[in-house]
Amino acid sequence: MNAPASFDAQSGSGGERERLIVIGNGMAGCRAIEEVLERDPERYDIVIFGAEPRVNYNRIMLSPVLAGEKTFDEIVINGQDWYDKNTITLVSGDPVQKIDRDRKMVVSVSGHTEYYDRLLIATGSDPFIIPVPGNDLSGVVTFRDLDDVDKMLAAAEGGGNAVVIGGGLLGLEAAHGLSLRGMNVTVLHLMPTLMERQLDEAAGWLLKEELERRGQTIRIGADTQAILGKDGHVSGVQLKDGTEIEADIVVMAVGIRPSTGLASSAGLDTERGIMVDDHMVTSDPAIMAVGECVQHRGACYGLVAPLWDMCRALADHLTDQPSGYEGSVTSTKLKVSGIDLFSAGDFSGSDGSEDIVMRDASRGIYKRVVVQDNKLIGAVLYGDTADGNWYFDLLKKGEDISDIREALIFGQAFASGSTSLDPNSAVAAMSDDTEICGCNGVSKAKVVGTILGGATSLDAVRSSCKASASCGSCTGIVESLLVLTLGDDVEEGAKTMCKCTGFGHGDVRKLIVEKGLREIPQVMQELHWTTPEGCSSCRPALNYYLLCAYPGDYIDDQQSRFVNERMHANIQKDGTYSVVPRMWGGLTNPKELRAIADVVEKYDAPMVKVTGGQRLDIFGIKKDDLPAVWADLNAAGMVSGHAYGKSLRTVKTCVGSEWCRFGTQDSTGLGVKLEHMTWGSWMPHKFKIAVSGCPRNCAEATIKDFGIICVDSGYELQVGGNGGMKLRGTDLLCKVETEQQVMEHCAAFVQLYREEAYYLERTAPWIERVGLEYVQSKLFDDPDALGEYAQRFYYSQSFCQDDPWAKRADRERADLHSHIAELRPLALEPAQ
């Protein structure tokens, strides 16, 4: 038996600390312990028993694991380090089978025993298996834990047919994952509406239509009579109308029941669930229960938000703080197969209630709010759930909506008088006490406070206040708060791509390559975009990712570029444009200066300015004149400076050893070579290079994306600098001896950045995200890696084409190929 040295088995009292035993290593049990530790970390010696042979993970995120969008490691909530740090003993893979209340002892399946002062039961729920013949055949699985996911993945490897019984959330997520894995999926649902507990008939119909459009077969009103088998393994499903459907795997997802068996056998009061009071205490004062297994004031909850409320009340009780749980008013905000859904309150309607409905078929949006006595009593949203939290706040507070009734269906921004179509405006209009994350009970004020306290990325917010850390349905709102609070200082790479998709930038990049997706519409179809054409955030990103993945094959989609990139000019606040021709390394000559002067006079440009990148910027050019302006500049051999682009901007130089008495190397000549090598290459964000001829650093190389400091022994290569709003000095990548090494290292670094950074993520936040050591390991650990990255960069450059308005002059193209030939005397072909 395991007991503290000072433990009295009869009295159940311990030594300095009380012994707290937790039955259940799931989300509720561990969250309760987190809350206890936050209040009084020294109060208890804690032992947690888990039925699964693994650490605590986010069960809600099993669906992305099944779909191949996440790995198990990515959904772990508390790794082994958390147990070790808090001196928690984890007994995993060995569930408790008996509670001895007289001796205050629990016994596991293996015979492991532990005594307790306090016992917490968090056994969750059990999947409901419909009582039909064949339900015990091999190949019939449920969808509750990682073992179930592993069984489904094993079945999907062979392809074939899958039948999912149940059209609720779990069933549809299982169907979505198996469909993505290549199986032919049929969903059988007994009721006439999918997810009837969360959706009304109209929203359920829209969901059915969308899932069928994606290739699933949905049969509503389908009553299962038997599961058919052959040689002990499932072979099909028979319906009561006689229909037979072939199946290589059958997923039971028809519902869950509170897991009360252990508590009932111990003599605790149970009905549908384990009965608890407002402090989560059972009929035994030493035993508490929390989560899906409990029944509180006659209600059992299967949503995360009420569970977290229970955990907070429980922790208050265990640390002698006055509190209590009074039940929860619940809402449901979900993402089903990539489709946003929200519901709250009584959306079925009743006598005296009124419906306000909006349908936008082209955008796949449906909204319905139910009003009674000038109060909101229910809401259903399909496709656009941005205002779900606001509706839920109105519902909970019972506020009078008569003054905003006409604008109610259009959302908070319109109801508050805003005419902006920016989705961030609705978030800005939310009151500080609006609940942003229902799963974790986090208000807008708390999220903003966390951001102002230094959380500049989505991951940082999640780890600090847990908003968006559970089901993820509030991710878009948290991202909007990041943008509204920080502006350009938000770490772009940590965000999901946009409101059109639940995928992050990294997932999209990976799936484009893994699935061989080669066109923007194909990406949107395969990755289940929720909008038909995407938006101004995702289309440029997808265009870049495809351009980077398939150089030479992918045709650049000009309409997916920002207007500045399409026009090769910067739009100004008065609607005119500024034009910046390239000056290689900051050098110019009389021919180029005359051409610029002629353009200024010919097109009546009101201002010419020297830029910080050693070039001339011509302001006030009318849009209609841009083609002619570029034709005149091209005639003088001048090409676009890409001052507008997510691409190489400038290569800043000092005069170096040719003129300066302190110069150690030819910094100007090297800068010109680097600019010829890298110009026109599209990047995740703007990219700046500088070459300083000596450590005095007149070209400011230590605040550039790639900087070179010339020294007596060669060159110091610096990376990841930023001189903008958030100043960041560079990190030393390495030292090299020759110009050729500088150029090869530059090409390799640029290509690594192009392949792995997220769109709109500059090198500074990228390096802070992945770490300098990671960059160095990718380039230098494998002796062939540097050359391979450089070769892929040269290959992509060989296909670089510009808009006809600013096409490469023949001389520059010849120079580019000359430099490539010097560095890599190979045919221009992709690295294998």
Residue 41 has pLDDT above 60, yes or no: yes
- 263: helix, coil or strand? helix
Are the beta carbons of 760 and 685 closer than 8 angstroms? yes
Q: Confidence class of residue 805 from pLDDT cuts 50, 70 and 90?
A: very low
Chain segment 279-323, per-residue pLDDT in tens? 999 999 999 999 999 999 999 988 788 898 899 999 999 999 978
Beta strands (DSSP E) in 589-741 are 607-610, 616-621, 648-653, 687-692, 706-711, 714-719, 731-736
Are the beta carbons of 598 and 632 closer than 8 angstroms? yes
pLDDT score at 23 = 98
At 194, give phi and psi (nearest 5°).
Answer: -65, 140
Q: In percent, how much of the chain has pLDDT > 90? A: 44
Residue 165 has pLDDT above 60, yes or no: yes
Q: Confidence class of residue 186 from pLDDT cuts 50, 70 and 90?
A: very high
CA–CA distance from 822 to each of 288, 486, 624, 667, 816 (Å)? 74, 45, 41, 19, 10
pLDDT score at 829 = 32
Decide which of 805 and 492 is more confident.
492
65: Cβ contacts below 8 Å, ≥ 6 apart:
71, 72, 75, 146, 149
Residue 347 has pLDDT above 80, yes or no: no
- 187: helix, coil or strand? strand
Q: Confidence class of residue 43 from pLDDT cuts 50, 70 and 90?
A: very high
- Is 698 flagged in the annotation as binding? yes
Identify the weakest region by mean pLDDT among 182-191, 293-302, 339-348.
339-348
Residue 76, Cβ neighbours under 10 Å: how many?
A: 16
Residue 262 has pLDDT above 80, yes or no: yes
DSSP 3-state percent helix, strand, coil across the chain (nearest 5): 35, 25, 40
Rounded to the nearest integer, the mean pLDDT of the chain is 85
Q: Confidence class of residue 421 from pLDDT cuts 50, 70 and 90?
A: very low
What average pLDDT does range 29-41 have in this prediction? 95
What average pLDDT does range 461-475 have in this prediction? 76
Decide which of 241 and 638 is more confident.
241
Are the beta carbons of 591 and 581 closer than 8 angstroms? no
DSSP 559-611: GGS-HHHHHTSEE-TTS-EEE-B--GGG---HHHHHHHHHHHHHTT-SEEEE-
Q: Between β-strands 217-220 and 274-276, what pairing exists: parallel, antiparallel or unpaired? A: unpaired
156: Cβ contacts below 8 Å, ≥ 6 apart:
162, 178, 181, 182, 183, 249
CA distance 519 to 547: 10
CA distance 77 to 65: 14
Determine the Cα angle at 497 with ends 207 and 66, to 5°: 55
What average pLDDT does range 516-538 have in this prediction? 81
Q: Between β-strands 339-345 and 294-296, what pairing exists: parallel, antiparallel or unpaired? A: unpaired
Q: Between β-strands 256-258 and 244-246, what pairing exists: parallel, antiparallel or unpaired? A: unpaired
Q: Confidence class of residue 439 from pLDDT cuts 50, 70 and 90?
A: low
Q: In percent, how much of the chain has pLDDT > 70? A: 89
Q: Between β-strands 706-711 and 113-115, what pairing exists: parallel, antiparallel or unpaired? A: unpaired
Query: CA nearest 439: which of 127, 60, 120, 70?
Result: 60
CA–CA distance from 451 to each of 209, 484, 800 (Å)? 40, 10, 40
Residue 174 has pLDDT above 90, yes or no: yes
Identify the weakest region by mean pLDDT among 1-15, 52-66, 405-419.
1-15
pLDDT score at 105 = 97
Are the beta carbons of 694 and 713 closer than 8 angstroms? no
Residue 268 has pLDDT above 60, yes or no: yes
pLDDT score at 495 = 57
Q: Confidence class of residue 109 from pLDDT cuts 50, 70 and 90?
A: very high
Are the beta carbons of 629 and 669 closer than 8 angstroms? no
Q: Confidence class of residue 490 from pLDDT cuts 50, 70 and 90?
A: low
CA distance 454 to 63: 32
Residue 820 has pLDDT above 50, yes or no: no
What domains are there in the chain, each with its CATH number? 18-126+258-318 (3.50.50.60), 140-254 (3.50.50.60), 494-561 (no CATH), 564-635 (3.90.480.10), 648-823 (3.30.413.10)
pLDDT score at 456 = 78
What average pLDDT does range 734-757 have in this prediction? 94
CA distance 87 to 225: 51
Which residue type is seen at 262? L
Decide which of 507 and 599 is more confident.
599
Please name the residue that has the structure tokens 């101004």.
536
DSSP 78: E
Residue 494 has pLDDT above 60, yes or no: no
pLDDT score at 797 = 77
Please name the residue that has the structure tokens 């350009």.
488
Query: CA nearest 492: which of 516, 519, 457?
Result: 457
Q: Which residues pair with 372 in a beta bridge?
A: 375
Decide which of 164 and 202 is more confident.
164
What average pLDDT does range 133-148 have in this prediction? 95
pLDDT score at 524 = 85
Residue 803 has pLDDT above 50, yes or no: no
- 377: helix, coil or strand? strand
CA distance 231 to 760: 56
Beta strands (DSSP E) in 210-338 are 217-220, 224-230, 233-239, 244-246, 249-252, 256-258, 274-276, 287-289, 294-296, 331-336
771: Cβ contacts below 8 Å, ≥ 6 apart:
none
- Is 800 flagged in the annotation as binding? no
pLDDT score at 118 = 97
- Is 660 flagged in the annotation as binding? yes
Q: Which two tokens stand for residue 287?
A: 């035993």
CA distance 581 to 739: 26
At 56, give phi and psi (nearest 5°).
Answer: -70, 130
Chain segment 213-236, per-residue pLDDT in tens? 888 999 999 999 999 999 999 999
- Is 474 flagged in the annotation as binding? no
Decide which of 4 and 754 is more confident.
754
Are the beta carbons of 222 and 256 closer than 8 angstroms? no
Please name the residue that has the structure tokens 């040689």.
231
